[in-house]
Amino acid sequence: MAMGKGEFLMWSYTKALEYPVKIKCTNPRLAKFIISQYGGPDGELAASLRYLSQRFGMPDEKAKAILNDIGTEELAHLEMVGTIVHQLTNGVCPEELEKAGLGAYYTDHGIDVYPQSAAGVPFTASYIAAKGDPIANLQEDLAAEQKARATYEKLIDLCKDDPDVIEPLRFLRQREIVHFQRFGEALRGVQDKLAMKRFYMNDCNKMNDNKCNCLKEFNSVNNYNVCDSVCNCNNNR
Amino acid sequence: MLEDNMENRHCGCNSNCNQDCNMSCDCMNNNEEMSCACKNDLREEMMMQLRAYKFSIIELALYLDTHPDDEKALCLHREYAKKAKELADKYQKMFGPLTISYPCKKWRWLEEPWPWERGNF
């Protein structure tokens, strides 16, 4: 949420949440479950890193943009989930934390918010899929949004007694649905692009200009131009 | 010794920061006359409005990523971007910086509550 003057930094932090979190009553038992959306397999950290990592291999401008912008919004959601966990446990004494099943957590992390699943498994990069294949990646992203939506629904079921917690969770659930919609549109765009007669994954113009020496060698050894058969880059010569 | 060092920290730019500085603008003076509760209400109201604009911008931006030719969405995006900027400038003048980019005479970034504290104004 960058705004105001001089906001042309990537990324810039704004001291405000995308949706307000104002929890009046602590409830460490709920915090233990909700922390899964911070650092669990379908959590916001995994979502953000998944999308931001997949941008680099996308052949389509729309797909790059949507991965960039949803990946950025997920960081705002990470901040919201961290805030929920903090407010649910803020000021709770160690005895109460232990009763809520957070004794081991308190031992290792105190009152910090540590990225882990509801079962206590620490965050791992294996939650992130970046396959180097635009179709596989976007299908992965569609599934990831549905899994996150399903997780939020389970959390809402567990939080029935506290509207202060349910409201932001409902907002986050709704965002997963919008993201799913946008990824679906991006996937169709990529499929259309791949179906074009002349298409190549990497930019041949750049490769021939100066970047890739091995391609030049390959061309001369094989006495033909790799690019000629698939793209229009011979226009430059 | 310490005081000498402090004096050396004046940059001498003589810049007139009245335009940006939240400590010397008119609205800050008005605020001092307001009661604390009233000020908090106004602050929360302004933040809610700002959040609404900013959310609209995010939502429209994601939509425009996959529908870049939608003129109506583009028009709405322009409208909310303008409103958000105006309100963000006003809010920051009155209540302090929302980003580290906001110019201040005094470093007020430390004074403002973080989103996870005090229920996120």
Q: What is this model's ipTM?
A: 0.83
- pLDDT for the residue A235: 46
- Per CB-CB distance under 8 Å, the chain A contacts of B92 are 4
- Find the angle CA(B69)-CA(B63)-CA(A151) to the nearest 5 degrees: 160
Q: Is A16 on the interface with B (CB under 8 A)?
A: yes
Q: Which residue has the higher pLDDT, B38 or B82?
A: B82
The half-sphere exposure of A23 on its side-chain side, counting CA atoms within 13 A, is 30
In whole angstroms, what separates CA A112 from the centre of its chain?
Answer: 22
Instruction: Average the pLDDT over A140-149 and give the result.
Output: 98
Say whether pLDDT at B36 is over 80.
no
Burial B77-99 (b: 16+ CB within 10 A, else e): beebbebbeebbeebbbbbbbbb
- Per CB-CB distance under 8 Å, the chain B contacts of A190 are none
Contact call for residues A57 and A131 (beta carbons, < 8 A): no
Contact call for residues A216 and A208 (beta carbons, < 8 A): yes
- Find the angle CA(A45)-CA(A49)-CA(A50) to the nearest 5 degrees: 110
Q: pLDDT tier at A3 (50, 70, 90 boundaries)?
A: very low
- pLDDT for the residue A234: 47
B33-to-A36, A46, A237, B25, B30 alpha-carbon distances in Å: 46, 48, 73, 14, 6
Instruction: Average the pLDDT over B99-118 and give the result.
Output: 88
Among the partner-chain residues B47, B58, B61, the one whose CB lies closest to the CB of A16 is: B47
Say whether pLDDT at A231 is over 50.
no
Q: Beta-carbon neighbour count of residue A125 at 10 Å?
A: 10
> Count of CB contacts below 8 A, A vs B?
105
The rounded percent of chain A whose pLDDT value lies above 90 is 75
- CA-based Rg of chain A, rounded to a whole angstrom? 23
Instruction: Average the pLDDT over B22-42 and give the result.
Output: 62
Question: Among A56-65, B29-38, B101-110, which range has the highest average pLDDT?
Answer: A56-65
Encoded amino acid at A199, one letter: F
Among the partner-chain residues B63, B67, B98, the one whose CB lies closest to the CB of A16 is: B98
Contact between A3 and B103 using a beta-carbon 8 Å cutoff? no
**d(CA A8, nearest CA chain B) in Å:** 9
Say whether pLDDT at A65 is over 60.
yes
Among the partner-chain residues B62, B66, B89, the one whose CB lies closest to the CB of A4 is: B89
A127-to-A51, A144, A169, A181, A185 alpha-carbon distances in Å: 12, 10, 21, 22, 24
How many H-runs (helices) and E-runs (strands) does chain B carry? 4, 0
- Per CB-CB distance under 8 Å, the chain B contacts of A179 are 62
The rounded percent of chain B whose pLDDT value lies above 70 is 69
Q: State whether residue B87 is helix, strand or coil.
A: helix
- Per CB-CB distance under 8 Å, the chain B contacts of A89 are none
Q: Using CA coordinates, name the residue in chain B closest to A80.
A: B116
Say whether pLDDT at A87 is over 60.
yes
Average pLDDT, chain A: 86
For A237, which DSSP code?
-
Q: What is the pLDDT of residues A167-215, one digit of tens each?
A: 999 999 999 999 999 999 999 999 998 888 776 665 555 555 555 555 5
- Helix, strand, coil distribution of chain B in percent, nearest 5: 65, 0, 35
- A5: Cβ–Cβ under 8 A, 6 or more apart, which residues? B20, B89, B101, B102, B103
Q: Is A10 on the interface with B (CB under 8 A)?
A: no
Say whether pLDDT at A225 is over 70.
no
The rounded percent of chain A whose pLDDT value lies above 70 is 80
Q: Is A13 on the interface with B (CB under 8 A)?
A: yes
Q: pLDDT tier at B65 (50, 70, 90 boundaries)?
A: very high
- Per CB-CB distance under 8 Å, the chain A contacts of B100 are 12-13
User: Structure pTM?
Assistant: 0.83
Among the partner-chain residues B99, B100, B119, the one whose CB lies closest to the CB of A3 is: B99
Contact call for residues A102 and A89 (beta carbons, < 8 A): yes
A:69-98 residues touching chain B, CB 8 A cutoff = 69-70, 73, 79, 82-83, 86-87
Q: Using CA coordinates, name the residue in chain A closest to B102.
A: A5
